[in-house]
């Protein structure tokens, strides 16, 4: 994780401090240099900002022009993964971070998530937070729906479905 961040508002939890944008971009360049230019590169769709640092603009613009594979994962699997990843976070720190998205989440949803957090119900918290994140993801995909080459449902475990979709897309695009 070159960015020392997972991309969401919670992405810095349990991570080392982020490098500077300049250091991150230098590290990214060095990693890209090691790639085989004859092979496709698959990148998780991200915004230009990852935490407090930024992808190189030209790199991000190329990402936005590139084909997409949309991966769908059942909500309960996602909730379980999020609880596993963030469930041990300090509740006060989690609430402080969650308050950064209160406007986008909406007061009613924020209050429900806060109540679930105070009751120690992390699956309930994640369920509420996913309403915000899913809406944001849908909006992002909708803006680039012409780029979606394939939609793959993933069970959260078996990578064969994803690998097969990437292989098929490689032959179609490349």
Query: Quick one: which of 52, 47, 67 has its CA closest to 15?
Result: 52
Q: Do 58 and 94 fall into the same domain? A: no
Check whether residue 10 and residue 62 sit in a common domain.
yes
| Residue 56 pLDDT greater than 90, yes or no | yes
Structural domain contains residue 155:
no
State which of 43, 66, 89 marks the end of a domain: 66
Whether residues 112 and 95 share a domain: the answer is yes
Do 18 and 38 share a domain, yes or no?
yes
Based on the fold, state whether residues 60 and 95 are members of the same structural domain.
Answer: no
Q: Which of these, 28, 16, 17, lies nearest to 54 by C-alpha position?
A: 28
Q: Read off the pLDDT band of 165 (50, 70, 90).
A: confident
Q: Which two tokens stand for residue 83?
A: 């609880």
DSSP string for residues in 15-27: -PPP--HHHHHHH
Residue 50 sits in the same domain as residue 89: no
- Residue-wise pLDDT for 106-115, tens only, equals 999 999 999 9
Point out the domain boundary residue: 14, 32, 66.
66
How confident is the model at residue 110, as a pLDDT? Answer: 96
For residue 84, is pLDDT > 70?
yes
Contact 69, 75 (CB under 8 A): no
Count: domains in the chain: 2
Range of the domain at 91: 75-137
Model pLDDT, residue 170:
65
- Determine the pLDDT at residue 5: 92
Tell me whether residue 166 is in a domain: no
pLDDT tens digit string along 4-47? 998 889 999 999 999 999 999 999 999 999 999 988 888 888 88
Average pLDDT over residues 99-123: 95
10 Å Cβ neighbour count for 131?
15
Give the mean model confidence (pLDDT) for residues 141-156: 88
Q: Pick the most confident of 5-9, 121-125, 134-138.
A: 121-125
Q: What is the phi-psi region of residue 67: left when phi exceeds 0, alpha when psi lies from -120 to 50, beta otherwise?
A: beta
pLDDT in tens, 59-80: 999 998 988 888 899 999 999 9
Q: Is residue 94 part of a domain?
A: yes
Domain assignment of residue 9, yes or no: yes
**Is 13 within the bounds of a domain?**
yes
Q: Specify whether the CB–CB gap between 50 and 130 falls below 8 A.
A: no
Amino acid 40: pLDDT: 81
Residue 121 banded pLDDT, cuts 50, 70, 90: very high
Q: Are 79 and 127 in contact (CB under 8 A)?
A: yes
Please report, for the chain, how many H helices and E strands are present, in that order. 8, 4
Q: Which two tokens stand for residue 156?
A: 């959260």
């Amino acid at each position: 994780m070159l960015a020392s961040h997972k991309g969401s508002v919670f992405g810095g939890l349990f991570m080392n401090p982020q490098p500077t944008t300049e250091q991150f971009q230098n590290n990214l360049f060095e990693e890209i240099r090691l790639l085989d230019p004859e092979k496709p590169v698959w990148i998780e769709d991200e915004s230009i900002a990852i935490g407090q640092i930024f992808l190189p603009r030209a790199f991000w613009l190329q990402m936005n022009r590139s084909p997409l594979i949309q991966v769908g994962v059942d909500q309960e699997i996602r909730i379980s993964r999020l609880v596993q990843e963030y469930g041990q976070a300090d509740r006060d720190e989690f609430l402080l971070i969650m308050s950064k998205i209160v406007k986008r989440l909406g007061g009613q949803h924020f209050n429900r998530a806060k109540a679930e957090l105070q009751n120690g119900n992390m699956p309930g918290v994640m369920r509420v937070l996913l309403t915000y994140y899913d809406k944001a993801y849908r909006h992002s995909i909708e803006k680039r729906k012409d780029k979606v080459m394939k939609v793959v449902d993933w069970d959260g475990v078996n990578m064969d479905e994803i690998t097969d979709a990437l292989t098929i897309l490689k032959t179609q695009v490349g």
